[in-house]
């Protein structure tokens, strides 16, 4: 097992490319994006009533080595402060390393 940092981001899909570029520049090896996220926070309710997909929210989850998290925060903070969204970082354990083998 290996200690890692779990990064969870909820933001407008309009800012998705900027956020993913920030993760890549910080050395995060990969991520998963879930589109059309709805929910409620202290800033209000996000619903799926929008007719345009460009106004939906996304959920990004990524993992990185603990030594990279300061760089991740440095890259994401300006984007989230300017455009809104939320980012949470927590400790996690990577149980197994799965490698894809191409034939």
Q: How confident is the model at residue 99 (pLDDT cuts 50, 70, 90)?
A: confident
Residue 103 lies in a domain: no
Residue 102 lies in a domain: no
Residue 100 lies in a domain: no
- The pLDDT value given to residue 47: 53
Domain of residue 24, residue span:
2-94
Q: Minimal CA–CA distance to 63: which of 26, 10, 99?
A: 26
- The pLDDT value given to residue 43: 59
Residue 43 lies in a domain: yes
Q: How far apart are CA 27 and CA 101, in angstroms?
A: 22
Residue 99 lies in a domain: no
Span 31-85, pLDDT tens digits:
999 999 887 766 555 555 554 555 689 999 999 999 999 999 999 999 999 988 9
Residue 58 lies in a domain: yes
Residue 46 lies in a domain: yes
Q: Minimal CA–CA distance to 87: which of 65, 62, 53?
A: 62
Q: Bigger pLDDT: 53 or 20? A: 20
- Please count the structural domains in the chain: 1
Q: From edge to edge, which strands make up the β-sheet containing 2-12? A: 31-37, 57-64, 2-12, 86-94
Residue 78 lies in a domain: yes
pTM of the predicted protein model: 0.82
CATH number, domain of 59, equals 3.30.70.120
- The pLDDT value given to residue 44: 57
Burial degree of 72 (CB within 10 A; 0-12, 13-18, 19+) = buried
């Amino acid at each position: 097992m290996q200690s890692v940092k779990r990064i969870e981001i909820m933001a407008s899909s309009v800012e998705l490319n900027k956020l993913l570029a920030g993760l890549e520049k910080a050395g995060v090896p990969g991520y998963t994006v879930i589109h059309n996220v709805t929910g409620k926070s202290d800033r209000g309710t996000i619903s799926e009533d929008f007719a345009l997909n460009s106004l939906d929210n996304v959920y990004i989850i990524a993992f990185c080595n603990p030594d990279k998290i300061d760089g991740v925060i440095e890259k994401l903070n300006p984007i989230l402060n300017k455009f809104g969204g939320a980012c949470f970082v927590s400790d996690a354990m990577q149980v197994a390393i799965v490698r894809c083998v191409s034939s």
